[in-house]
Structure 1
Amino acid sequence: MQDDTSARHDLPDANVRASSYYVLQAQHLCKHCQQTTLVFALAVPPNHESTEADIDLDEDASRLGLAPGEFHDWLFSPEQWQTIPGPALLTQIGSVSAPVALTLQRLASALRQDAAQGAQWTNFCEHCGNAVWEGALYPTPGQPFCPEDDATAAQITVHTIDAPFDGYARMIWTDRYRNKWPLFKRLGVACSEAD
């Protein structure tokens, strides 16, 4: 008999899984047609699981990172699921489970697989149909999914999906990225230096 965790996740190459997730919705000015279009993103709540967790380096100031043998062991060790206490914004999404894909079809039709990008999940302008470059949506404060403050974050619509999530993301923006704190606060998770 399978344990409950493995029974609810069906994507073999997943590196992120959670018992629920968020579909985020914002507006973005398309660089191709200069019209405002809806764009979407995915996030997971605190206590999600990932195989891509940051390693904990030794706090001893006399050591600089991992010793060569430790680094080799870490780099080539089998994937292990780790519980991540904070939330995460997921980008460069390579795959999602079938139930998540169905939810996205229904709720976020502008976010779909892009054959030109190796089937990566990409936003497309609802007016001209061109792909929206991810670099214009996530990394820099002031972009749709990197709000600078609470007022800007309030403009993001948050759809909470009370169903399991599993997928593969190449970039996982955790609460270690301070510029994501207003977004995470919008999700109901306050971040601070003490975290």
Structure 2
Amino acid sequence: METQELGANAAGGPDGEPFNLRASSYFLLQAEHCCTACGQASRVYALAVPPGHESTEADLDLDDIDADSPGLDAQAFRDWLFSPARWQAIDGPAMISSIRALSPSVAHALRALAPRFRPNPERGGQWSNFCEHCDAPIWDGALFPTPGQAFCPRDAEAASHIAARPVDAPFEAYFGMCWTDSYRNKWPLFSRMGYDCAEDE
């Protein structure tokens, strides 16, 4: 079986490209991070979606051909490569980062719920956290990927310090990074959101 990682060719992304994730609801996550610019603790925010969300960035099944097959012929490969984006339902929860665009309704809600989380013009409009004390931007890489960071709690006790506010409203976004339940280090966070993860049997 072959898979394809799609770029966002599926309205709302950079340069008029469409959104690449949608859901019937979402979570606003809130944690605390020590600002490297001023050294003070600041609230930081992230967005997550529940199981059943849809994305054009999911791996797509191309063929159920056997292992001895020579693969797709040149024209079939070209058709696959340049085919329109397809929405696929995703079974597990996900957290997104490197957000380039949000639907107007979500952006409006965040102005009230998380005013320090906003587009950063110095990063091409990417949604960023800003320190509530000195207004310095906080890099996504300091919040998401490594265990022990604000949105990568090591265990349930650390995850208990993260607020996971469900928002019962439609969600659309154009993201660059998606942290799914295939990342074991996100399991404590997803459990905090109410979704227990386990190995596939």
Class of the TM-score when normalised by the shorter of the 2 chains: 0.7 to 0.9
For the residues of structure 1 that align with 2:161 and 2:66, how far apart are their CA atoms? 43
Q: Does 1:158 align with 2:164?
A: yes
Matched AA of 2:157: A
Corresponding residue to 1:13 among 9, 18, 22: 18
Residues 53, 68 of structure 1: alpha-carbon distance in 2 compared, 3 angstrom cutoff = farther
Corresponding residue to 2:52 among 25, 47, 51: 47
Task: Provide the identity percentage.
Answer: 52
Matched AA of 1:45: P
TM-score, normalised via structure 1 length: 0.87
For the residues of structure 2 that align with 1:139 and 1:166, how far apart are their CA atoms? 23
Matched AA of 1:155: H
Q: Does 1:112 align with 2:118?
A: yes
What residue number does 2:84 align with?
Answer: 78
After TM superposition, the runs of 4+ consecutive aligned structure 1 residues lying more than 6 A away are 57-61
For the residues of structure 2 that align with 1:63 and 1:45, how far apart are their CA atoms? 38
Count of aligned positions: 186
What residue number does 2:43 align with?
Answer: 38
Residues 111, 63 of structure 1: alpha-carbon distance in 2 compared, 3 angstrom cutoff = farther
Shift of 1:67: 5.3
Residues 133, 63 of structure 1: alpha-carbon distance in 2 compared, 3 angstrom cutoff = farther
Gaps of 5+ in 1: 1-9
Residues 141, 117 of structure 1: alpha-carbon distance in 2 compared, 3 angstrom cutoff = same
For the residues of structure 1 that align with 2:62 and 2:180, how far apart are their CA atoms? 17
Q: Does 1:167 align with 2:173?
A: yes
RMSD: 2.3
Any idea what the Cα deviations from partners look like across 1:27-78, whole Å, max 9, x if unmatched? 00000000000000000000000000023588989469x7575654443221
Corresponding residue to 2:97 among 91, 95, 102: 91
Q: Does 1:189 align with 2:195?
A: yes
Any idea what the Cα deviations from partners look like across 1:93-139, whole Å, max 9, x if unmatched? 00001110011111111100000011110000001111001100000
Shift of 1:146: 0.5
What residue number does 1:134 align with?
Answer: 140
For the residues of structure 1 that align with 2:66 and 2:195, how far apart are their CA atoms? 31
Q: 3-state DSSP class of the match of 2:147?
A: coil
Residues 73, 20 of structure 1: alpha-carbon distance in 2 compared, 3 angstrom cutoff = same
Residues 176, 67 of structure 1: alpha-carbon distance in 2 compared, 3 angstrom cutoff = farther
Gaps of 5+ in 2: 1-10
